[in-house]
Every structure is written in C-alpha cells, then in structure tokens.
Amino acid sequence: MRRPPNLKEANLVDPQLEQCTTAAKCYVYIGDEPIVVILDTGVTVSIITKRLDNHLVLRINKELKMVVVIATGAREQTLGKITK
C-alpha cells in the first residue's frame, strides 16, 4: 500500500494552525507531588522524562523497546515501562 503523494505526515503541524492553538496544561498529583502536565487525548502512549522519573523515585519494571516521536518531532528510544 502506498501513501498518496499529497498526504502529509500525521505528526506534522500546519504552521498556520500552530499560531491559534495552545496546549492544555493542568496539575496532576502523583502521590502527594503536584506535577504540571500537558494533556493530549490523542496520544498512543504517555511518557515522562528521566528527570521526572528520578524525582518521583519511580522504577522502570518492564523492558520496552519502542521509539516514540515526541512533540518536537524528534524520535526517542524509550527506557522502559512503569506499570505500578
């Protein structure tokens, strides 16, 4: 199956739309710790940074070999999965 030549990648943002949209942010509590998060109801996976993982003292307890495309468009290898 081939993609039509005029179809854009799904992770590209139209520059004109980018000017009139904002990210929805809110506080989420993990334990007693308030964390500012960006809400995205269309995501396939939820990710956190290694820095936040270290701050919350969470433990990666499952190996996960997955590459995700982050908001900047960069591709990043995941470190693992936290299931608890």
**Where residue 1 falls among pLDDT bands split at 50, 70, 90?**
very low
The span from the CA of 43 to the CA of 36, in Å, is 17
pLDDT of 46 reads 79
Distance CA 63, CA 65 (A): 7
When the pLDDT of each residue in the chain is averaged and rounded to a whole number, the result is 76
pTM of the full predicted structure?
0.50
Confidence of residue 48 (pLDDT cuts 50, 70, 90): confident
